[in-house]
Amino acid sequence: MNFLEFQNTFAHLPVIPIIEIEKAFPGFDPNALTRWQKKGYLEKIRRGFYRLTNRPIKGDADLFFIANRIYAPSYISLQSALRWYGFIPEGVFTITSVSSRKTQDFQTPAGNFSYRTIKNDLFFGYRLEKFPDFRIKIAEPAKALLDLLYLNPHLDSEEAFFELRLNFWEVQEKLDFNRFEKYLAQFASHSLETRATKLIQFL
């Protein structure tokens, strides 16, 4: 395997897991990755994950794909998902996800990624968003809001809701309120139900 073969194989991906390299090139020499990093061809995102330096990161979709891959299982949620749907303004500089693994933060050459822990039985309510070269896991609008409320108990008043700077028109247009109620019941949390009811009344 030479670098041109490597590049042609993975040019479509924002991040390249080493496990995918091993599948594509059985018996490859891991030292090649070190050599290519020294030459500036590759950049290590975190252990076991690389990106081609001549492939620019093309907006949120690429960053969301990276977030999904470098810490799994996880899906995009919280502020990043809310911004994606237009529920809150631009300005979220860390890609936010939830995961059934421990809470974790990564500062990488590609960007900053934050993961909050949720229980295994709350790991639901996400969709696969399709793009030409890959798919991403992202919370549905209802689940993104509920994840945010669940992980931020201080969001329990009109003042706190105002600070979210919600775009009311977008929320009313895109939020499936029936699904919101269905997912809320699956949390089986009285305190969350109280705060969620306050949020719906606020909207």
The span from the CA of 69 to the CA of 162, in Å, is 33
- CATH 3.30.460 segments of the chain: 60-202
**pLDDT value of position 91:** 73
Query: CA 181, CA 2: separation in Å to the nearest integer?
Result: 54
pLDDT for 200 equals 94
pLDDT at res. 203: 87
In this predicted structure, what is the pLDDT of residue 85? 96
Which pLDDT belongs to residue 172? 92
Alpha carbon distance 202, 101 (integer Å): 32
pLDDT for the residue numbered 18: 96
CA angle 133, 130, 58 (to 5 degrees): 55
Q: How confident is the model at residue 173, as a pLDDT?
A: 93
Q: Read off the amino acid at residue 127.
A: R
CATH class of the structural domain 60-202? alpha beta
Calpha distance 175→196 (Å, rounded): 13
Sign of CA dihedral 86, 89, 95, 96: negative
Confidence (pLDDT) at 178: 97
Q: What does pLDDT average to over the chain?
A: 96
Q: Please provide the DSSP assignment of 49-81 as one string.
A: EEEETTS---SHHHHHHHHHHHSSSEEE-HHHH
pLDDT 10s digit of each residue in the chain, 203 long? 899 999 999 999 999 999 999 999 998 899 999 999 999 999 999 999 999 999 999 899 999 999 999 999 999 999 999 999 999 987 768 999 999 999 999 999 999 999 999 999 999 999 999 999 999 999 999 999 999 999 999 999 999 999 999 999 999 999 999 999 999 999 999 999 999 999 999 98
Amino acid (one-letter) located at 176: D
